[in-house]
Structure 1
Amino acid sequence: MHLFVLISLLDLSNILVFPVDGSHWINMKVLLEELHARGHNLTVIRASTSWYIPEESPMYSSITINMTEDERFEDFFDEFLREQMRVWSYNGGSAISHFKITNLIETLLDSKYDLVLTDPAIAPGVLLARYLKLPVVLNVRWIPSGEGHLAIAPTPASYIPAPGSGLTDNMTFLQRTKNLFFYGIILFQQRFIVGPHYDVVCQKYFEGECDIISVLQEADIWLFRSDFVFDFPRPTMPNIVYIGGFQCSPAEPLPKLIISIILLQE
C-alpha cells in the first residue's frame, strides 16, 4: 500500500503504466484496479501482439505499439527494444490505436504524467521514465539479468543463495563455491548477453554514461514481490517495499472434511 500512500500524499493522478505481458500482467493488474478505484487516470502502453493486456478497458486508456507476429520471439530483446525506441520518433497513426498523433514522445511529454509505474523484467518502461524525466515505481522483483536485489543492494555470496542454486543461507565451503558459480552465470548474462542491448539504447538516447543497472538503481520506489517467510534475510535498500502475496485472494477457513483428515493423520 506504500504506492497508494505516496500517490495520495503527492496528489498524483496521471500515471503512465508500462507493464510486461504474461503472468507479470496479473501482478500489475491488481495495482491498476486499486489505483483506478481511487480515481487516478491510467494510461497503459501495450504491444499489438499482447497476450493478456486488453486494448479496451474501463480502468485505463491505452497506447498500442505495432509489432508483427514475427517479432514475438526471434531476437526478442533486440527487436523489442528497437521497436520501443522507433515508436518514440514515429510519424503516422497506424501504430497507435488510441492517440491519432504524429509524434508519440511529444504526446507523452505534453500529457504531463506524474509517475511511471512499470515492470523491470524487460525494462523499456524504466528507460522511458528516464527519458521523460519522471519518477518511477517498479513492480515485481525480476530484472532483465535475473533477481532485482543483485542490482541494488550488497549480496554477499557467503550467505545469500543465488537464484537457481537451491542453497540456503547456511552453506558449507563447497556450497559457497557452488554459489559463486551461479553468481558468475548471472554476471555473465548481464555483461555479455543482456546488457549490450540496453547499452546501445543508453548511449543513443541519454547523455553521460549509463547502463540498465544504473537506471534501475535510480528507481524511487520498488514494490518488491518477495516474502521472508519463503526467502532469506539479506541486505536491502530503503526504497524497497516488500509486498509478498499481494496478488493472492484472502484466505478462507478450511472445509471441515479437510480439517478432519488432517487431525486423523496426526
Structure 2
Amino acid sequence: MTSHHACGMLVFLSVFLISYTLQCNGGSILVVPLDGSHWLNMKILLEELHARGHNLTVIRTSRSWYISEKSDLYTSITIEMALDYEQLLDVFLQEEVCYNFLSCTGLISMLSRGHSLWYDAIKHIFDDQNMLKRLRDSQHDLALADPTLAPGLILTKYLKLPLVLNVRWITNGEGHFVLAPSPFSYIPVLRSGLTDKMNFFYDDMCDKYIEGGCDVISLLQEADIWLFRSDFVFEFPRPTMPNVVYIGGFQCKPAQGFVSHPGNMSHLIVRQMC
C-alpha cells in the first residue's frame, strides 16, 4: 500500500470516528423556555449544549420577542399565542406595577392572564395528534424547562422525559418553598379584591392528559435536576435538596470598556434620564 493510500485511509477513519463519537455523545433535548430575561440566561445553557454536540428542539410562541424561529443553535416548534400577550408585556415594561397597592393588584391580574394564555397555547399541542406524534417520534433524551410556567412541566410528564429545571421562580413564587417543607397559607388581604377561591389553571390539563392525574407542585418536586440561579453569598442558609445545583452568576462576563469619546457622553446621559 502506497503512502498516499495509507494517508487517505487514515483521513477516512478519522472522519468516521469523529462522526461516530458525536452520534454517541450528542443527546436530543427538548427545551421549553420562557421569553424575556429568562431566555437570555437559558440561551447561555443552549450555546454550551450545542457546542458539546447536543441536538436542541425549542418550543416557542408565535409572539415571542427574543426566541427566534430560526437559529444555528436549535430547531424550533412554534405554537400560536393570543394577540393580547404582547399587551400584557407592555404593562410590565411601562413599569405600571407595584408602585402602589392598587397597581400590585394589576400585576396579579396580569400574571393570572398570562398563565391563562399559556394554558391555551400549550393545549393546542395536546389537541394536535400530529404534533404529539412528532414529539414522541423525536425520542428526546430529556427536557430542559423553565418552571415559572407549568406547561413545560406537564408536557414533560406526558412525554415521560427526565426533567431539568432552570431558574428559581415557579408558578406561585420562589422555588425553595417547593424543595423543602413550608407551611401552606392563603389569606386574602382586606380590600385586595381577592377572595378565598383560588384558580388552578393547570389542574384540568393534568387530569385530562396525564394518566393518574398530577399537580404542579408534585411535577416540580419530581425534577431530576434543578439548576437554581441563586447563590448563598446573597441568601440566608435554608433547607434544600441534593438534586439542586446552585449556578448563581454563571451568566456573568467581564464588563465592557466605558465610552471613551466625549461626544457619546451626552447621548448616554440623556438615555439614562429618559
Q: Partner of 1:140 in structure 2?
A: 167
Structure 2 distance, partners of 1:71, 1:212, is 22
Q: Partner of 1:214 in structure 2?
A: 218
Matches within 5 A, 1:1-266: 11=25, 13-72=27-86, 73=88, 75-90=113-128, 103-155=130-182, 184=186, 192-193=197-198, 196-250=200-254
List gaps (5 residues or longer) in structure 2.
1-21, 89-109, 189-193, 259-274
Q: Is the 8 A contact 2:126 2:209 kept in 1?
A: no
Q: Secondary structure at the match of 1:138?
A: strand
Q: Cα distance, 1:153 vs. partner?
A: 1.1
Deviations 1:201-232 (A, max 9, x none): 11111122421001111100000011000001
Deviations 1:87-120 (A, max 9, x none): 2322xxxxxxxxxxx7101100000000100100
Identity %: 57
State which structure, 1 or 2, has the greater radius of gyration over its C-alpha atoms. 2
Q: Cα distance, 1:138 vs. partner?
A: 0.1
Q: Which residue identity does 1:26 align to in structure 2?
A: L
Q: Is the 8 A contact 1:88 1:103 kept in 2?
A: no
List gaps (5 residues or longer) in structure 1.
1-7, 91-101, 158-179, 255-266
Q: Partner of 2:16 in structure 1?
A: none
Q: Cα distance, 1:152 vs. partner?
A: 1.8
Q: Cα distance, 1:253 vs. partner?
A: 11
Q: Cα distance, 1:250 vs. partner?
A: 4.1
Number of equivalent positions: 206
TM-score after normalising by structure 2: 0.69
TM-score after normalising by structure 1: 0.71
Structure 1 distance, partners of 2:197, 2:31, is 29
Q: Which residue identity does 1:50 align to in structure 2?
A: S
Structure 2 distance, partners of 1:12, 1:58, is 16
Structure 1 distance, partners of 2:197, 2:222, is 22
